[in-house]
Chains A and B, each alone.
Chain A
Amino acid sequence: MTVKTEELHHLNRSLVWSGFKQLAPISLFVIAFGLAFGLAAKQTGLSDSTIVIMSALVFTGAAQFAVLELWGTQMPLLTMIFTVFAINSRHLLMGATLYPWLRNLPPSQRYGLMMLSSDANWAMAMQAFTAGRPGFGLLLGGGLALWTFWVFGSWLGIYFGSLLSNPKAIGLDVVLGCFLLAILLGGEKNLRMLVIWTIAGTSSLMAYWYLPENSHVIVGALAGGVAGLFLKGSKR
């Protein structure tokens, strides 16, 4: 924790604009990923308005993709709630790690800022704070950039989606898998995590084969979580 914590939470227009510009370079990726989501959602059978509203309100790529996997004529509500919660549970830690600086803001700003928290802008904001620079411009401006490009990409995907006859041929169905794997391998990697992942993966596969449909995500995530509870080691 830095000495001048009180000053680092400042937020003004130029900081927000600078945050927007710093996150803009990854915008192409966010548009591409949004486009893939729009396409996949269209192919799954969601209406155009549902797709755009979902991207605008939910604003979380991995969970939105995962919900598509559950989407049929019926949606298993509890499984969906748990899946979205578990995939987004890292937001709980993002909020907790930003708390030393967020606490200096009035609650409306505190919770308003967190509505836009996402992996990339959180990481850059944390980097700034730990280096002793103001970070909420990155969180807000960067979040606005990510949100805009995400919604725009989703919208693009809807319109290009109707042109595409065979999305599998261009590898569209593997986007989620590759995305999840890239995030996973971009994070903490050590023996402890490997053990946790092995337990999670094995439990998930067992559930996938032998337990009711769609239970594997819950089983795997909880098994890994419990393993993490008992395996001490490097702390976060």
Chain B
Amino acid sequence: MSIETAGFGAFIIVLVMTLVTLSTRWGGVFVMSFVPIGDRVKRFIHAMSGSVFVALLVPMAAAGDMGARLALVTTAVVMLLSRQPLLAISAGVAAAALVRQI
């Protein structure tokens, strides 16, 4: 099922995104008000919320150019050493920009 992104379609997409995001912001609290969320469900959600990042990242690295790959490596190294997200992201983006100038 696909939807046109031109004109009104874009607003439908934004509306759907809003509803899906709200369902996650409200869902945890809503469910907890009836039954405590069990360990198994927590394990699944916790693993999935990290895995979706990996699932987006790996193809990005595989399909990306040298700049993109170096950016990711730089971010990882700076993040692990400094624990400063802002610094790590800036360093990664700068690395990509630098490699592409050469």
Contacts and interface: CB of A to CB of B under 8 A. Distances in A.
**Interface majority SS on B: helix, strand, loop or mixed?**
helix
Interface string A45-65: 111001001100111101110
B53 A181 contact: yes
A220 B57 CA distance: 10
Contacts of B17: 54, 57-58, 63-64, 67, 80, 84
B79 A181 contact: yes
Interface residues of A, number: 101
A114 interface: yes
A24 to B, nearest CB: 14
A95 interface: yes
16 contacts: A60-B21, A73-B6, A77-B16, A90-B24, A90-B46, A95-B29, A96-B31, A115-B25, A175-B89, A176-B56, A178-B75, A178-B89, A204-B59, A221-B55, A223-B51, A225-B47
Interface of B: 1-6, 9-11, 13-18, 20-33, 37, 39-40, 42-64, 67-68, 71-72, 75-76, 79-80, 83, 85-86, 88-89, 92-97, 100-101
Interface of A: 26, 29, 33, 45-47, 50, 53-54, 57-60, 62-64, 66-67, 71-78, 80-81, 83-99, 102-103, 110-111, 114-115, 117, 168-188, 193, 196-197, 199-205, 208, 216-217, 219-229, 231-232, 235-236
